[in-house]
Amino acid sequence: MNKWIVKLAVPAIAFGGLMSVGAVQAAAPGELVALNQQWQPLMNAKDVESLNKFYDADSLLGQYPYDSTKNLQGLDAISQMFAGGPFGLPELNAKVDTLALDAKDDTALLVKHWDISFKEGGFKGLALEVLNRTDDGWKRRIDIGAGGLSAATDFAQNDTEVDNSAFGSLAADYALRSEGASRVSLTEGAELPDFTEGFVVDNLLSVEQDNSGLLISRLTGKGQSFLLFNAVEKTAAGWQVKVQMSAVL
């Protein structure tokens, strides 16, 4: 079943090539939505002790353009980065807007816009997060920050081919591997892509972390082009898409 943008009272953000005042929160459970809403207050309070609500020993924090050699692994390393980085800025003021949040079973995908200002200046960008439900609540398994990006379609500008080995078989059969996934359109009024045939897949970014993964792909064909954001899970049958968000290019 197609899911469309639900209007929320958030600032206008360039998303999928359009200006949208909406956000997708299609099937996210209430506890995940509540957790997500705690992030902005935590940032502004510089509350390093509460980062364990979001990260654990299996969390990966990376930057875009992606370079796996610069990843931070685990709560301790990520906490040290926040303590010595944004939490050390004078007069920190962080604003976070959720652009899309959806979940299927124990896997979720979050796209958000962040804007950080401080005494000497500021910076802004987007973030992509794959989350898993654990015995200790939802945790960020993969967190990719993209400073300087203002639209989701900006992720189509770079192709980090060196990091695309993990999900080759998945991208080779998107239709089969996406069966049962929660799928949402991020471009208002657009239909979900039908990639059962006639599309060429170009993997732009893949990040593998244990049994979870983030895959960004460009699909081109039938006079159309889409950007796909996938939260994927390793199963006995191989990698499967759990949550998929698409934007028209």
- Please name the helix (run of DSSP H) or strand (run of DSSP E) that holds residue 45, with its range, or none: helix 39-45
Residues 38-83 pLDDT 10s: 999 999 999 999 999 999 999 999 999 998 999 999 999 999 999 9
Distance CA 96, CA 132 (A): 21
Instruction: Retrieve residue 6's tokens.
Output: 């639900």
- 152-192: pLDDT as tens digits: 999 998 766 555 566 777 777 888 888 899 999 999 888 88
Q: Which two tokens stand for residue 182?
A: 């929660």
Residue 127 pLDDT class (50, 70, 90 cuts): very high
According to CATH, the topology of domain 6-154 is: Nuclear Transport Factor 2; Chain: A, (3.10.450)
The whole model's pTM is what? 0.88
Establish whether domains 6-154 and 159-248 are of one fold. yes
**First vs last Cα of the chain: how many Å apart?**
22
Tell me: pLDDT of 121 over 90.
yes
For residue range 93-106, what is the model confidence (pLDDT) as tens digits?
999 999 999 999 99
Mean pLDDT of the chain: 86
Report the C-alpha gap between 3 and 170 in whole angstroms: 23
CATH fold, domain 159-248, is: Nuclear Transport Factor 2; Chain: A, (3.10.450)
Domain boundaries, the chain: 6-154, 159-248
